[in-house]
Amino acid sequence: MRYTLFGEHTGLRVSNLVLGAGNFGTRWGHGAEPEESRRIFEAYAAAGGNFIDTANGYQFGQSEEILGELLAGRRDDFVLASKFTFRATPQDGILVTGNSRKAMIASVEASLKRLRTDRIDLLWAHMSDGVTPLEELVRGFDDLVRAGKILYAGLSDFPAWRVARAATIAELRGTVPIAGLQVEHSLVERSTEHELLPAGRALGLGIVAWSPLGGGMLTGKYRNGETGRREGFGGNVFQAENSPQRSAILDTLIAVANEAGVTPGEIAIAWVAAKGPLPIIGPRTLAQLESNLAAAKVALSADQIAKLDTVSAIAPIFPYTVIDAPGTRQGYTGGKADEFDMPAKPVA
């Protein structure tokens, strides 16, 4: 396992594969029993992993409960990230869900008890609720940092314009910065490349990518009749092989994997890592974890990346259809587009 800084607003050193704990527990009817969760956790730690991602609602709180037991006596060895926004139990109502400060505080207090810790290292707002002003969200994060209950703040599954506004509010007001961005990103979900990934890079955010395997689709296992997330989570967080392009993606992925002598899943995770985000692996079994961890050793060639990029390419959207058009670029570079070296990092 290798380590990197989490974005440009922290000195936090994290492993290059993140362990997602959404499968820790069985209260959703699909997941890993506590003992299997322990085996997964121990193997991840033994491989050098130090970045754990969970949420208040994963397995209706059981994921945090299991992690609370597993972290006992070694809490400082891990970066612990959790989330708020969704209900933690089926009984949770309208006042303790969403992005409001009330929901944030109630969720964090409950999470700290389940996790058996005095602070959460990175708190994500799990998803934009579309109604809470970002001023309230940013101030809530800052209050929790000042109270010592969280160390860093991040946004998961937010539109790019809201991410940019929140980061700007925090910067101008001198509050705790928005440090991280969490998005879905895989060979079968590349729409985040239009706005979210460029925004995250330009703003200096640490970026993590959930579902790098497309809910298991990119392992090829569903072609063999396996079920997994396709049925276990009622079809949620699952990308189906439901188009000619997706079939071509999987065919190409399998061909590249065979050429490299590894599994399709390893190639899929390595491709996400090659694009910059830290992949979140979410194994349900020890065998799945071991396969996921092997991706850290895969170094894709430029030709392999090009093949995967080409088969999974998405159509550009406005305004990039205009901005990036050859004639337009010549216009705003005074006819020197071919001689002008664009910066590697997007400019905010």
Q: What rounded mean pLDDT belongs to the chain?
A: 96
Going through the chain in order, the beta strands assigned E by DSSP cover 3-5, 13-15, 18-20, 51-53, 79-84, 120-125, 150-156, 178-184, 206-210, 278-281
Confidence (pLDDT) at 230: 56
Question: What is the pLDDT at residue 235?
Answer: 62
Three-state DSSP at 42 gives helix
* Contact status, residue 55 vs residue 23, Cβ threshold 8 Å: no
Mean pLDDT of successive 10-residue stretches along the chain, which has 348 residues? 97 98 96 98 98 98 98 98 96 96 98 98 98 98 98 98 98 98 98 98 98 96 75 70 95 97 98 98 97 97 98 97 95 95 90
Maximum C-alpha span of the chain = 64
Residue type, 267: I
Count the neighbouring beta carbons within 10 Å of the beta carbon of residue 1: 16
**Residue 248: per-residue pLDDT:** 98
Instruction: Answer positive or negative: Cα dihedral of 327, 331, 335, 337.
Output: negative
> Residue 198, class by beta-carbon neighbours within 10 Å (0-12 exposed, 13-18 middle, 19+ buried)?
middle
Q: Measured between alpha carbons, how far is 23 from 4 in angstroms, rounded to an integer?
A: 25
Instruction: Please provide residue 197's backbone torsions phi and psi, each rounded to the nearest 5 degrees.
Output: -65, -45
| Token pair belonging to 8 | 């440009």
Which pLDDT score is estimated for 226? 75
Residue 70 burial (CB count, 10 A) = 21
Determine the residue type at 226: E
pLDDT tens figures, 76-134: 999 999 999 999 999 999 999 999 999 999 999 999 999 999 999 999 999 999 999 99
pLDDT for the residue numbered 233: 60
Catalytic residue among 58, 152, 320, 332: 58
d(CA 255, CA 307): 10
What is the C-alpha end-to-end distance of the chain, expressed in Å? Answer: 31
Predicted local confidence at residue 224, as pLDDT: 82
Which pLDDT does position 112 carry in this prediction? Answer: 98
The answer to whether the bond into 159 is cis (omega within 30° of 0) is no
Count CB-CB contacts under 10 A for residue 243: 10
Q: In this predicted model, what pLDDT tens digit does every residue of 144-173 receive, in sequence order?
A: 999 999 999 999 999 999 999 999 999 999
Helix axes 244-260, 264-274, angle to 10 degrees: 100
Residue 58 is a catalytic residue? yes
- Domains annotated for the chain, with CATH where assigned, are 3-314 (3.20.20.100), 316-348 (no CATH)
